[in-house]
């Protein structure tokens, strides 16, 4: 599919598309399982945490703060309703390290953005905690490449329709690039837009789904490969 000349604006997902994210949450999960090792198996801890995350996301959204609530809820249940002090402070330490982890770009991001800069209007379209996502955007140093950063409440069809309206576009004019089929690909093509899937080896269980069938989906192996479709 040749996309040259068909779009003026390109939207980029942030976490695990521009910079590493999920691997740090996986490391946090492993630390949490070790912290609760006296109460159940690592698999038991993980399943409880995932369930609490599913319960809390609709209430509190995405991000490390919600993750802390999920860990605290899971620990409370696993500890029989009586949360020991060392578990509480252990969770707080895990989340603090998660929120302020070392920043790592996905390979090829800067070269790709440099090639696209000036040829397209580039916008970050991410979801999660506003403060947390804007902090990552600012410390990334990528703001010079982008027109602005949109922190969306979620990434479903309704949110993408709102994104199009906010940016004075028809839904068919959306071109979204990202790693999550559930958040970056499926809802975009469902409203008539086009999406490029840039896979990441680590995928959050909440984001897993089968790739939909559409001639408006392009799958690449890494982010630099999008240039052959856009330039």
Specify the pLDDT at position 223: 96
Name the one residue in this structure whose structure tokens are 């939909």.
212
Pairing mode, if any, of strands 148-152 and 9-12?
unpaired
pLDDT tens over the chain, length 231 residues: 779 889 999 999 999 999 998 888 889 999 999 999 999 899 889 889 888 888 888 877 777 778 888 889 999 999 998 889 999 999 999 988 887 777 899 999 999 999 999 999 999 999 988 888 898 899 999 999 999 999 998 999 999 999 999 999 999 999 999 999 999 999 999 999 999 999 987 665 566 678 899 999 999 999 999 999 999
Q: Which two tokens stand for residue 145?
A: 């490449």
Give the integer Cα–Cα distance in Å for 168 and 174: 11
b/e 136-160 (16+ beta carbons within 10 angstroms → b): bbeebebeebbeebbbbebbbeebb
Reduced DSSP (H G I as helix, E B as strand, rest coil) percent helix, strand, coil of the chain, to 5: 50, 15, 35
Domains of the chain (ranges, CATH numbers)? 9-19+105-230 (3.40.50.1000), 22-99 (1.10.150.240)
Specify the pLDDT at position 203: 61
DSSP track, 197-227: E---S---GGG--PPPP-TTEEE-SSGGGGH
Specify the pLDDT at position 207: 60
Please list, in sequence order, all residues whose beta carbon lies within 8 angstroms of the beta carbon of residue 52, skipping any fewer than 6 positions away: 69, 70, 71, 73, 74, 77
């Amino acid at each position: 599919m040749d996309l040259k000349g068909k779009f003026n604006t390109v939207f980029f997902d942030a976490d695990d598309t521009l910079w590493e994210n999920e691997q740090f949450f996986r490391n946090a999960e492993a630390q949490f399982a070790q912290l609760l090792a006296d109460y159940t198996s690592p698999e038991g801890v993980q399943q409880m945490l995932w369930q609490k995350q599913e319960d809390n996301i609709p209430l509190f959204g995405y991000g490390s703060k919600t993750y802390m609530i999920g860990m605290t809820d899971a620990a409370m249940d696993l500890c029989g309703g009586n949360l020991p002090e060392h578990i509480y402070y252990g969770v707080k330490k895990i989340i603090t390290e998660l929120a302020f982890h070392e920043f790592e770009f996905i390979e090829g991001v800067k070269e790709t953005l440099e090639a696209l800069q000036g040829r397209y209007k580039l916008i970050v379209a991410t979801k999660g905690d506003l403060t947390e996502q804007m902090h990552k955007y600012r410390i990334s140093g990528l703001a010079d490449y982008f027109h602005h950063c949109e922190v969306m409440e979620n990434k479903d069809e309704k949110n993408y329709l709102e994104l199009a309206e906010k940016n004075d576009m028809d839904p068919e004019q959306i071109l979204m690039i990202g790693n999550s089929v559930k958040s970056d690909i499926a809802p975009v093509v469902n409203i008539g837009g086009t999406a490029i899937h840039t896979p990441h080896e680590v995928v959050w269980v909440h984001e897993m789904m089968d790739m939909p069938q559409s001639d408006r989906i392009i799958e690449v192996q890494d982010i630099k490969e999008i240039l052959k479709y856009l330039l």
